[in-house]
A and B are shown apart, each in its own frame.
Chain A
Amino acid sequence: MLYGITIIFATLFAGEALSRLLQLPIPGAVMGMLLLTLIAILRRGLDRRVVDAAGAMLRYLGVLFIPAGVGLMTLGDEIGRQGWALLATLLISTVITMAGTAWMLQHLLRRKDRLNKNAIQDELP
């Protein structure tokens, strides 16, 4: 476990450093995620200990958003001024984005699956 946690934090540091030094518009943590994926591709797999440590961190991912979420209490005045217009915009836009993306992607995935199936059948004697 210690080894796994060390690797994850080292990758996070590398990601943060890259993002800062190269002034990328990508946050360090996302760079770290991409870096660790790249390492896994190059090594053709990751150490069991890294996988276990990552699993432990992801298991309760939701809890990590709570401290920032409680910060909503400081926005009472800001939201109050434009009130429901802000909340309605947020709600409607989130529903449209999620529904639109999911619907379109499922359509494309199924089309691709059908094409593949046909291609396989064509190859059969």
Chain B
Amino acid sequence: MNTLWLLWLQLSHIPAFWIALTLLAFGIGDALYVRAGGFPLLNPVLISVLLLISLLLFTHVPYPVYFAGAQPIHMLLGPATVALAIPLYSNLQRVRDYALPLLLALLFGCVLGIVSALACGQLFGLSASSLASIAPKSVTTPIAMALAQHAGGNVSLAAGFVILTGICGAVLAVPIFRLLRIEHEIAQGFALGMAAHGVGTSRAIQLSETAGAFSGLAMGLNGVLTSLLLSVVLGSWWSVFG
């Protein structure tokens, strides 16, 4: 038993193990999703995250050990974000054509994302620190963490909210679009990027290349605008409800 345990301890520190398991989990999630004909709750990211969390809890492996191994996958988020420039460039003409509607939707969606979180949170009696951590939930993780810290929130909680928001958004997008009859692929993509940042963008790319491009654009612009607006919105919120 002891030797087996020592062996496992040694093996669990080999990065390739966690990289392979992460890819395998995504493969299983993706296969399930395709097999179920695209049923939203079987979102591949959601399934693989749940699979891996169960495995880690079951084998008593702490998260930092997993993350140290799977870090190379995490690091690829940087270049993948840069790669979003390609679909963006190929849709540039349409971005120019629809500049005004896109700008208005950006402003509206950004404020809606912050204010709806504050209003719901206030209604459900969340603490001030939780409100500050949940307000930037719609923007990509590095921005949200910096903003939450600045606003007096909890950084790790903020990062968790961002990921949960992204998964929620990716899971609920298509049912929402169907219910509200949102058929315009630009509107679909842009809303996914606005509400659910990168995870939403990975979902938008599955819908169409155009949706992916506008999702990436919305994600980037919302990150910038939220950085500029969050302290203003939070400040006026506290002065009214604080």
**How many whole Å from B198's CB to the nearest CB in chain A?**
6
B48 touches A8 (CB 8 A): no
CB of B80 within 8 Å of the partner chain: yes
The answer, among B116, B161, B199, B202, for a CB contact under 8 Å with A92, is: B116
**How many whole Å from B4's CB to the nearest CB in chain A?**
24
The answer, among A11, A25, A69, A72, for a CB contact under 8 Å with B146, is: A25
The answer, among A33, A63, A74, for a CB contact under 8 Å with B26, is: A63
**How many whole Å from B214's CB to the nearest CB in chain A?**
9
B176 touches A61 (CB 8 A): no
A-B interface contact total, Cβ < 8 Å: 310
A57 touches B105 (CB 8 A): no
In addition to A36-B89, A73-B53, A98-B195, 18 A-B residue pairs with Cβ atoms within 8 Å of each other are A32-B85, A37-B88, A58-B83, A64-B73, A64-B77, A66-B45, A69-B49, A70-B52, A71-B163, A73-B56, A86-B126, A90-B137, A98-B200, A100-B112, A101-B108, A101-B112, A101-B190, A102-B177
B22 touches A67 (CB 8 A): yes
The answer, among B105, B137, B165, for a CB contact under 8 Å with A101, is: B105
Report A's interface with B, CB cutoff 8 A: 5, 8-9, 11-12, 15-16, 25-30, 32-37, 40-41, 46, 50-51, 53-55, 57-58, 60-75, 78-79, 82, 85-106, 108-112
The answer, among A5, A75, A98, for a CB contact under 8 Å with B157, is: A75
Report B's interface with A, CB cutoff 8 A: 22-23, 25-26, 44-45, 48-49, 52-53, 56-57, 63, 66-67, 70-71, 73-74, 76-89, 92, 97-98, 100-102, 104-105, 108-109, 112-113, 116-117, 120-121, 124-127, 130, 134, 137-138, 140-143, 146, 154, 156-157, 159-161, 163-169, 172-173, 176-177, 180, 182-184, 186-188, 190-192, 194-196, 198-203, 205, 212, 216, 219-220, 223-224, 227-228
